[in-house]
Chain A
Amino acid sequence: MIKAILIDDEPLSREILKSYLMRFPQIQIADECNDGFEGVKAIQQHQPDLIFLDIQMPKINGFEMLELVSPMPAVIFITAFDEFALKAFEANAIDYLLKPVSEDRFAKAVQKFLDKTTQTPPATAGLLDTMAQSTAQNNRIVVKTGSKVKIIPVHEIQYLEADDDFVKIVTAEGSFLKNKTMSFYEQTLDAQQFVRVHRSYILHISQITKIEPYQKETHLAILRNGQQIPVSKTGYSKLKTILGI
């Protein structure tokens, strides 16, 4: 049995998908969600194989919701938003359907999924990165703490720190882990505001109050809250160009 979840904020939109899915008795609808928050919970709870996902939804959009989910199920986007279509395709979403969805087109998308499940699971890393880019450009990063979802405005970030396979995002409220790489954030965050000062640190430059020499060619950046962040030799020269010293 294949488990699926429908995530769309319009009940009618879910209804029609449900009726289309009756043609596929092997797919069972495990849950229906009104928004991304419900979606995160339902995915955690049911571990579905496939989700049908709207993009424009309350508070967090479909892309942002996916960032909070692991392991990632196969995704079929269903949306009236056509500006993301190309992005989703490049990123190996199973399919991208535009509303209003015809039954034939829907059946084709599901068939595509069924054909793929017999092979290797879909490559989703690319999808995640493309999506995260779109959200980092939104000037916010969505994180999960326990079962709660938190939206961090980029300007509230103090610094980012490498933490094994994760990145720790530090704000005045605390720190949040995100399953991403440092180089990802180095590329997506605004380079005028965020500088990779060290292999393990990206600093929000508005947080810096002082830079002091440390050992040999390294320095220490002192943040507003007194915290000290190591600055490497290349990091220091990057800082110098941006701060104009």
Chain B
Amino acid sequence: MAISKNLPVSRLPLAGAVLLWTAAYAAGLHYFFTIAWEVAATDSGLFNLVTLSSVFLLYAIIGYLPRTGIFQITLGVAVVFAFLSQWLAQQATAQLITDPAYLDFLNQSMPVRWAMGFVILVSTGVAFIFYSRWREVAEAQARETDTRLLAREAELHKLQLQLQPHFLFNSLNSINALIQLKPDQAREMVQQLSDFLRLTISRADEPWITFAQELEYLKTYLAIEKVRFGHRLEINIQADNMLNDFNIPTLVLQPLLENAIKFGLYGTTGKIIIQLIAKQTDNGMQVEITNPFDADMQPSTGSGFGLSGLQRRLYLLYARNDLMQTQRTPEMFTVKLIIPPRP
């Protein structure tokens, strides 16, 4: 890619600097070489105008140069431009001023002018190249940060919304049955399912909620599971009231509880008790969810979204991989989750 053509400095200070330089140039001619003010001003004005034009022309050319060999080419072009521009200025000045003494001085001063033009062109050219490169890198970095941020948000969003379609269809199936058998309960369950879905959808946009809010959401979820599995499922929640206003990432507990229920219900036959204990700790909170399980069972397929998704989410939020631990005994499976304060 060619280097950007934008100038490193804003226009007003640039114009000021050019004017100052032109004035100093004229003053130099007047005091060191005793050239009359009008002649010195004309000389300085013409020479510097031409030099400035050639600087801009050089920038324009640099903009189209390939990356490799850019310095060598710039150097070469600067040499040619320095010679051409000063020669052009010399010709122009000679047209305007006819004083032989001055013309003599003009001719003698040319090597110095060439050298000055060359130095100006090369230094501003090289500075321009470096500036353009630095800006390119900065832009790329900004873009990368943006992309990463977007990707992270999208990923978080997706992980939050991992709503099990099975859960939805099975709930609808229960409602379908209840409509015929117990219409009142059907209505109640439609309400619960709507509440649950509303919370799932609305909270997908809020990355953080209070523990009390998450608990309320869990209770809605559990009410639905109780309709389906009330004959087998018992859930025991112990939560410290002090935690009510503690901020936790949205929807981290629900997938854990869902997982525990699934493992408990499908890994064993008979009644199960799921336990959720939430405690305050020195630095944040700790949640333990325990479900019965059968160590002899090989996990069947279709475990679906479970702990790995949550692990990933916690990492994205807290940049820590040690927040979730699991423990197994022959009969119980426990997930322990440490939730630090909101970063």
| A and B are partners in one complex rather than unrelated chains | yes
A100: contacting residue among B176, B265, B294, CB under 8 A:
B176
| Closest beta carbon of chain B to A148's beta carbon, Å | 13
Residues of A contacting B173 with CB < 8 Å?
10, 12-13, 16, 80, 99-101
Of the candidate stretches B5-13, B50-58, B133-141, B225-233, the one touching chain A is B225-233
Say yes or no for A56: interface residue by CB 8 A criterion: yes
Tell me the count of chain B residues lying within 8 A, CB to CB, of chain A.
29
B302 touching A59 by the CB < 8 A rule? no
| Residue in contact with A80 in the complex, picked from B170, B227, B298, CB distance below 8 Å | B170
A134-142, A190-198, A205-213, A236-244 - interface stretch? A134-142
Interface of B is mostly: helix
Does B280 lie at the interface of the complex (its beta carbon under 8 Å from any beta carbon of A)?
Answer: no
* In-complex Cβ contact of B181 among A12, A57, A100 (8 A): A12
Instruction: Decide: A56 and B181 in contact? CB cutoff 8 A.
Output: no
Residues of A within 8 A of B166 (CB): 56, 80-81
For A9, the chain B residues whose CB sits under 8 A away are 229, 265
Q: Let me know if B181 and A138 touch, CB within 8 A.
A: no
- Measured CB to CB, the closest approach of chain A to B238, in angstroms, equals 26
User: What separation, in Å, do the CA atoms of A17 and B298 have in the docked complex?
Assistant: 31
CA of A56 to CA of B265 in the docked complex: distance in angstroms? 10
- Is B266 a contact partner of A98 (Cβ separation < 8 A)? no
Task: Please state if B180 and A11 are interface contacts (CB–CB under 8 Å).
Answer: no
User: B298 near A138 (CB under 8 angstroms)?
Assistant: yes
Q: How far is the CB of A53 from chain B (nearest CB, A)?
A: 15
Q: Does B108 contact A (CB under 8 A)?
A: no
Given the known inter-chain contacts A99-B170, A100-B172, please indicate yes or no for A12 contacting B227, CB distance below 8 A.
yes
B266 touches which of A10, A19, A57, A153 (Cβ 8 Å): A57
9 cross-chain pairs, A with B, having the tightest CB-CB distances, nearest first: A16-B177, A99-B173, A80-B169, A100-B176, A140-B298, A100-B173, A12-B177, A100-B172, A153-B298
B residues in contact (CB < 8 Å) with A: 165-166, 169-170, 172-178, 180-181, 227-229, 231, 265-269, 294, 296-298, 300-302
Could you name 13 residue pairs across A and B whose Cβ atoms are closer than 8 Å? A10-B229, A12-B178, A12-B227, A15-B177, A58-B266, A59-B267, A59-B268, A80-B165, A80-B170, A81-B302, A83-B302, A99-B176, A137-B301
Which residues of A come within 8 Å of B, CB atoms? 9-13, 15-16, 19, 34-35, 37, 56-59, 61, 80-81, 83, 98-101, 134, 137-140, 151, 153-154
